[in-house]
Copies of this chain bind each other. A is one copy, B any other.
């Protein structure tokens, strides 16, 4: 951020209109690399040039956002995207709507090459974590305090404090990321976190970036293998897929992708194998499947064959459909699935 400020200052001191050069995020410059299994932003650059009248407003917005973020960091504070948008009003910075300010924050991510969470901008919390992991907080007012994340059986919300905490100690050996809150509670209650030595993460639908970041950190810093457990439908599959391969929208942030994570179910083929209560796929589901069949992230196994299986059986099932065999059956199911991966 200081380099940014200095470069602007230099431009002005040299009698030039200041400008900002950052990676181009338009679709022509975002490529999927099949060998590495992830998206990458190419070498094209985009420029916000204050000399160009069409860029001037955008330039101004970018500089104010950088200033806002600088103050957050200096004061060890955090903010939501929404707070940032409203704060701009107090400075007379003119964002048409929050979509516009969100886009500028993404520009700043691309410029700095780090996710917004590392400069204090967080989304609303909706994911949660539970398991034998002792963390130490680094946020304002809690520096040096530590907590073990198995101490509240309802789970801990994953917010700024946990995302940016230091990992101190764990006896866990794996991570299980779970689509629904009901199933997350079930795995805690069935003591599966203990019997399988697992840290559990509740994704709450499509994984928020803070949850993806925690999974990445657990995998990388602690060497824990991560398994993803979703509903048996194309949306559940895609939740898992984005954790493994990333998304086009966050191609500029490599730190959110965990190539090593495995989707373990519920598979389309499990619907028959485990005789699960199932519903018919809707037209929207079938359209999504056709869309994913063309997606480069779905060329490998198990992705491709499970998509084709969904298309064949035209059925979907929820994680909790496993309860038809009793509330504890999920434990047996997960053990079978995870042993297959070792």
Residues of chain A touching chain B, judged by Cβ–Cβ distance below 8 Å, are 77-80, 82-83, 86-87, 89-90, 122, 124-126, 128, 137, 139-142, 145, 147, 151-162, 180-182, 185-186, 189, 191, 277, 318, 320-327
Contact = CB atoms under 8 A, between A and B. Distances in A.
B90 A182 contact: no
Nearest to A90: B324
B152 A83 contact: no
A128 B151 contact: no
Contacts of A128: 125, 157
6 contacts: A83-B320, A83-B323, A86-B321, A87-B326, A125-B155, A153-B160
Given A86-B322, A141-B189, 6 more contacts: A90-B323, A125-B128, A125-B154, A137-B153, A139-B153, A141-B153
A292 to B, nearest CB: 26
A89 B324 CA distance: 5
A77 B327 contact: yes
A154 B156 contact: yes
A152 B141 contact: no
A280 B315 CA distance: 43
A126 B181 contact: yes
Contacts of A326: 87, 90
A125 B189 contact: no
A83 B187 CA distance: 13
Contacts of A125: 128, 154-155, 181, 185
Given A126-B126, A182-B82, A326-B87, A162 B152 contact: yes
A142 B137 contact: no
A125 B277 CA distance: 24
A72 to B, nearest CB: 9
A160 B140 contact: no
A127 to B, nearest CB: 10
Contacts of A77: 189, 327
Contacts of A161: 152-154
Contacts of A157: 128, 152, 154-157
A155 B141 CA distance: 14
A231 to B, nearest CB: 11
A185 B147 contact: no
Contacts of A180: 124
Contacts of A90: 323-326
A327 B78 CA distance: 10
Contact of A124 (B147, B182, B322): B182
A150 to B, nearest CB: 9
A128 to B, nearest CB: 5
B185 A160 contact: yes
Given A139-B153, A142-B153, A159-B155, A86 B181 contact: no
Contact of A323 (B86, B159, B277): B86
